[in-house]
Structure 1
Amino acid sequence: MIPFTQDLGAFFATAYGGIAIGILFDLYRAFKNNFNILKIFSLFYDVIFWLLVTGLVFITINVIESFDLRYYHFIALFIGFLIYYNTVSKLILRVLNKLIKSIIYIVKQILVNIGKISVNLYYVIIYSIHFLFDTIFYIPNLLISIFKFLKIKSCKLKKVKSKI
């Protein structure tokens, strides 16, 4: 038979597992509040939450009692969850919501700045290529036109001088 103190230690350790489930529940609520764009995401969040909770319960019971499941494990999980939910859950949920909103704001700002840099880089490249083509094609054509104009003017001057 297991001594009472060992059972009491297992009870409190399982209650900490209930507190961890409460933290996961607040994470679930925070993500659902901030990222629930489509109803299909709600189903996704539900499945992920319950898979994590199930894994956490199994890990907690395995670490504490090596899967020697007793009724008080479920009571301790429930009591741990209630203690967490009634004491610090509102504070943690507010902090998580602010943290998620801050991260979303930072990511949006980074993406906006990347977009602005991309547009400016695009214009720098396009105007450089435009200047290069102007230099290659326009200036020689301009010089050729000037030489033709000067040649025509010089021919007219020669004709005028020859008539005089």
Structure 2
Amino acid sequence: MIPFTQDITFFYATIYGGIIIGLLFDIHRAFKANFKFMKYCSFFFDALFWSLTTIIIFITINAIESFELRYYHFVALFIGFILYYNTISKFILTIMNKIISLITNLFKKTIKYIVSISNNLYYVIIYSLHFIFDIIFYIPNIFLASRKFIKRKSLGKLKIKKRV
């Protein structure tokens, strides 16, 4: 038989598992509040939350008593969750919302700058290529056309002199 003091130790340790579940619940709420796609895929993310909760419960009970499940484990998990939810949940949730909004704004600004830089780089490359093609194709044509024009003018002047 397990001594009573050891049962109390296990009870308190299971309360910590309930606090971890409360923290996981706040993470889930923060992501659901900040990302619209999570509202559309709610079933999947709720199933993921409950799977992680089940894993945390199993890990907690395995670490404490090697899967000797007792009724007070469920009571302690519930007490831990309620303690967390009624004390620091609002504070943690606001911090998570601020962190998520900071990261998403940073990500959006980074993408915006990358797009603007690539857009400017696109125009630099296109205009450089255009300039190179102008040099390669149009400038020799200008010289050839001016040479033909000069020949025509010079032949025209000669013809005028011959007629007179």
Q: Secondary structure at the match of 2:2?
A: coil
Cα RMSD for the two superposed structures = 1.4
Q: Secondary structure at the match of 2:69?
A: coil
Q: Answer whether contact 1:30 1:93 (CA < 8 A) is retained.
A: yes
List alignment gaps of at least 5 residues for structure 2. Answer: none
Aligned to 1:21: 21
Aligned to 1:113: 113
CA deviation map 1:22-76 (0-9, x unaligned):
0001001111111134643211221111001000000000000000111111111
Q: Answer whether contact 1:36 1:42 (CA < 8 A) is retained.
A: no
Q: Which moved more, 1:38-47 or 1:66-75?
A: 38-47
How far did 1:161 drift?
Answer: 3.9
The alpha-carbon distance between structure 1 residues 39 and 92, as it changes in their structure 2 partners (threshold 3 A), is closer
List alignment gaps of at least 5 residues for structure 1. Answer: none
> How many matched pairs?
164
CA deviation map 1:89-111 (0-9, x unaligned):
00000111111111111111111
Q: Answer whether contact 1:15 1:77 (CA < 8 A) is retained.
A: yes
Match of 2:103, as an amino acid? Answer: I
The alpha-carbon distance between structure 1 residues 38 and 19, as it changes in their structure 2 partners (threshold 3 A), is closer
Q: Secondary structure at the match of 2:68?
A: coil
Q: Which moved more, 1:132-141 or 1:37-46?
A: 37-46
TM-score, normalising length: structure 1: 0.94
Aligned to 2:61: 61
CA deviation map 1:140-164 (0-9, x unaligned):
1100011111111222233344456
Aligned to 1:2: 2
